[in-house]
Each structure stands twice: as C-alpha cells, then as structure tokens.
Amino acid sequence: MFNMPRQLRKVSNTKVYHIIFKGNDQQDVFFDEYDYKKMLKEILKYKEKYNCDIYSYCLMTNHIHLIIYDKYNNISKMMQGILVSYSIYFGKKYNKIGHLFQERFYSKNVETKEYLLDLCRYIHQNPVKAGISRIEDYRWSSYLDYTELETNLKEDAKIINPKMILSLLGKTKQEAINNFINFHKLNEEKINDYVEFEMITKLTDEELVQRIKKILEIENIREIKKLNHLLRNEKIKKLKKIEGTTKIQISRVLGISRKIVERAMK
C-alpha cells in the first residue's frame, strides 16, 4: 500500500526543507474533499508529534508540497507517519491494493531567505499553473492561512506557523500580509523555472536523450520535429512522466520550442 521513505541525505543548515510526495506513477491521491481534509489532519497530527513547523503547503490531486522547519531532525519519521496513515485510510476507502505513493518523498534544502520566499510563492501558485483555480480561491493550500490570518477563517489555519514568512515581508503583521499578497501576484516565469529545476534530481542531456529513445522506441530524437503536429504532440506527451527533467530541457534536446512542448504536455 505504501513505500517507506529513505533517510535524508543532507541536513539543511537552516533546518528548512521543501518536501514533495507524489502518487505512485502519478496517480491521483485525492478524489473528494474528505480526502484533502484527511491529509491535512495527518499533516497536523505528525507535525505536532515530531515538533516540526509548516511554513506553507499545497495539496494537488496527485502530489503534495510542504515547506517544513525540522529543528530536531524528525522529518523522516514525520513523513513516514503521514504516508502510512493516509495510505491505510485511502486503501480502506477505495479498496486500493499496492503502493499509493512513490518509493520516497523528495527533499530539497532551503538555505536562503530569498529562496524560501520564491518557493513559498511557487507552491501557492501551483493551482494557477495547473489551470485549476485562482490562487485566492484554492481551498487546499496555505495561501488563505496567511491572507485571512486576522479572521482565521480556515479550519486548518493552525497547520502553519506564519511568523517566519511574514517576518521577511514587513515590520507589522498587516504590512507583511499586504506584501505577501502583492508578492504572490507576481508571476516571474524565470523564478518558477528555477524553483522547478531545483526540485528535481536532474538528468543530463545525454541521459534524457537515452530515456526518450527508449520510451518512444526511436534512434534519432530529432526526427520528432519533422512529424505532423498531431503525431509530434502525441509523442511529446509520452515524455510527461519522465522524472528528473523539465520542459525546458526536453525542448532543448528535441530542438522543438518550449511552447510547443508545454502545449503537448497539458
């Protein structure tokens, strides 16, 4: 039903980590609002059990983002608790047999304040980037936990500790909240690309070429751009599940524009 995460390889100097865990083979892990609420409940339970702080989160249909402050190096135990508990719940509810999540969760050290803010914005903009919702309308991220901090409208507002992020954005609480909202209105594509590239275990161009050849069963990947657009896009779409790359890298090795790759992979 679930795979066990490995220990973190490198301890962050700041004790702050970007954590991502995904459905196995990109399968959905949420089907209704009770599933989202169950995940939030497990995150709250285990972050309190292991004395971790959550700075931001976003639950997407097949993956989850967290920014975690792990003062006592308990992050592996915390993640194990979350993944096991939710997998048991999911298996019973949907009669699911087999692995729900990928073998290990992804962890990226967050070492600077600038990267922390960019990452927070990137995580909250996930629903916008996926074409699901406006950032302020999405129920399953911590964005509203910050913007509605004064009224505390959300049931799960206590999941996050907002002090660190807000301290970087203003001297008073209201000033920080206003700056937080304005900061999230920015859609700096270069920053998002950088964050996305930092998140993954990177393939070299040669490794990516070999992976593409294997998936598409071809010898010369440059032949793809000579195909008619329907067949070309069909083949590009098959590359969507490759781990360790970005659309930018795929477009570069294929010799095809990034916009074409992005449209084909939607």
- pLDDT on residue 192: 60
User: What percentage of the chain carries pLDDT values higher than 70?
Assistant: 86
- Check whether 89 has a pLDDT greater than 50: yes
What is the chain written as a DSSP string? ---PPPPPSS--SSSEEEEEEEBGGG--S--SHHHHHHHHHHHHHHHHHTT-EEEEEEE-SSEEEEEEE-TTS-HHHHHHHHHHHHHHHHHHHHT--S-SB-SS-EEEE--SHHHHHHHHHHHHTHHHHTTS--GGG-TTBSHHHHHTTTTT-STTGGGB--HHHHHTT-SSHHHHHHHHHHHHH---HHHHHHHHHHHS-PPPHHHHHHHHHHHHT-S-GGGGGGS-HHHHHHHHHGGGG-TT--HHHHHHHHT--HHHHHHHT-
- pLDDT on residue 4: 39
Region at 69 (left for phi over 0; alpha for psi -120 to 50; beta for the rest): beta
The tokens describing 261, both together, are 């790759």
Quickly state the pLDDT bin for 61 (edges 50, 70, 90).
Answer: very high
**CB burial string 153-176: b at 16+ within 10 A, e below:** ebebbebbebebbbebbeeeeeeb
- pLDDT on residue 104: 74
CA-to-CA distance for 186 and 118, rounded, in angstroms?
Answer: 10
CA-to-CA distance for 220 and 129, rounded, in angstroms?
Answer: 32
User: What percentage of the chain carries pLDDT values higher than 90?
Assistant: 48
Quickly state the pLDDT bin for 99 (edges 50, 70, 90).
Answer: confident
- pLDDT on residue 143: 95
Q: What is the mean pLDDT of the chain?
A: 85
Encode pLDDT of 226-262 as tens digits.
Answer: 889 899 999 898 888 787 778 888 988 898 988 899 8
Bigger pLDDT: 239 or 190? 239
- pLDDT on residue 195: 64
Quickly state the pLDDT bin for 205 (edges 50, 70, 90).
Answer: confident
Encode pLDDT of 24-37 as tens digits.
Answer: 877 899 999 999 99
Encode pLDDT of 103-156 as tens digits.
Answer: 678 888 898 998 899 999 999 999 988 889 999 999 999 999 999 865 554 544
